[in-house]
Amino acid sequence: MQNLVYWQLVTKMVTFTRLCQWLCLILLMLLKTECTDKVNITFLKSAVTKGAVCLDGSPPAYQLDEGFGDGVDKWLIHIQGGGWCESTESCLLFVNKTNGVGSSKLMNKFRFSGVFSKKQSQNPGFYNWNRVIMRYCDGASFTGDVEKLTLGARIFNAIMKELLAKGLNHASNALLTGCSSGGLAAILYCDKFRAMLPETSRVKCVPDAGYFVHVKDISGKYHFQKFFNKIIKLHNSKINLPSSCTSKMKSGLCFYPQFILPEIKTPVFVINSAYDSYQVQNILAPEEADRYDSWSACKLNTSNCSRTQLMKLYGHYSKRTLNALCIVHPNIDRASKILVFFSDFRSDFIKALRSGMGRSKFNSTSRGLFINSCYSHCQTGFQASWLGAAASKLDNMAIAEVVSDWFYERNTTQLIDHQHIMPQQC
């Protein structure tokens, strides 16, 4: 009897041990899969002697996941976002940020997902390309040129020189992308990027959440423009902005794509949300314009918005649309339907977008649009929004599908979401 109990215990222990082994193996496989999505950082130490350095003097950096198959001569260069610093004090804060946007010493590896993924099922148009993330650390969209502070323009040139030597100079196809302040950089450097590559190459640019608009805020003023003015002055960015713009207007306005895009010759596809969360929080309702802090809760979650705030966001709609809005959102009552507000952000955003696109000398097939209603900022680097979540799709097409069709000239697409009158959680 004792032997029987003994062998039963042994059997249970063996079974438990095998179960643990299987669980450990599965865990290791998951960890290995996660790690394969992370690409090593290359620190460009040779660029330091040429003055191409981050805000703290550390070397610039990039991540490169090499292409394979028929993608070995195709390149996707992505400029990371990270905001801007407009004063010496704010730049010092950037240096100490743990996400490394001011110093390569603090940079962590980015996981390559969304438009960076090497899996065909997740990134059908660009999965086997050489995919590069140019790491952001200058605080001025790579436009700075001030000794002992910021030399972002030199960083862009240094990394491009390195990549050209690695095969970019023989690219058959090339795409310059960027997110947020990096998306703005992708617009600013679009024609320069084109000029660096062979004339026979197909070269295009896709800024993501980089179309910052010049519109009035809730106080009726342009507080955000003052912020851009300070950035350009501190970093001496004017010399690296398009002369076609700076020769016509103040340099501070030449950080706004609506004034830059009309002169860009290279094909551009704009990805943005009409309710871009950063722009709602900083252009529509910046702290300087919100004297009584009445927008804080609304900016964090649109379900907290008052009827007046919602109307400022949603814009001027037909009677039928407003009746529907009253039903689906409890914070809007019938009296709101007759109110007219000057700060109609969505409407102003679309007007600024059409202004930049419509007045372009190089319009038609060279310009693409994907403007959804997600209350978010940057979408191409996230798998769910790049090729997945239904909420981020337009005409039942994901961003990945539309951009790929546009790049390969299978279809010319300019999509703007007119179905949703409220910001969507995507």
Q: Give, for 345, the enclosing helix (H) or strand (E).
A: helix 345-358
C-beta neighbour count of 36 within 10 angstroms: 13
Max alpha carbon distance in the chain (Å)?
Answer: 98
Q: Give, for 61, the enclosing helix (H) or strand (E).
A: strand 61-65
Regarding beta strands 202-208 and 268-273, do their DSSP bridges make them parallel or antiparallel, or are they unpaired? parallel
Q: How far is CA 184 from CA 82, 91, 109, 241, in A?
A: 11, 19, 22, 11
Q: Is 153 helix (H, G, I), strand (E, B) or coil?
A: helix
What tokens were used for 419? 């179905």
Cα–Cα distance for residue pair 151/332, rounded to 1 Å: 49
DSSP string for residues in 75-128: EEEEE-------SHHHHHHHHT-TT-SS-GGG--PPB--GGG---TTT-TTTTT
Q: Is 377 noted as a catalytic residue in this protein?
A: yes
The alpha carbon torsion through 379, 381, 386, 390 (nearest 10 deg) reads: -60
Q: Is 316 noted as a catalytic residue in this protein?
A: no
To which residue do tokens 């099922």 refer?
121
Cα–Cα distance for residue pair 422/176, rounded to 1 Å: 31
3-state secondary structure 225-263: HHHHHHHHHHHCHHHHCCHHHHCCCCHHHHHCHHHHHHH
Q: Packing angle between helix 345-358 and helix 307-314, nearest 10 degrees? A: 10
CB of 108 within 8 A of CB of 63? no
List 181, 277, 377, 417, catalytic entry: 377
Give the helix, strand, coil percentages of the chain, each rounded to 5.
45, 15, 40
List 191, 217, 276, 344, catalytic entry: 276
**C-alpha triplet 412, 365, 192: angle, nearest 5°:** 120
List 103, 117, 180, 237, catalytic entry: 180
Q: Give, for 174, the enclosing helix (H) or strand (E).
A: strand 173-179
Q: Classify residue 273 by its DSSP letter.
A: E
Q: Is 56 noted as a catalytic residue in this protein?
A: no
Q: Give, for 401, the enclosing helix (H) or strand (E).
A: helix 399-407
Residues marked active site are found at 180, 276, 377
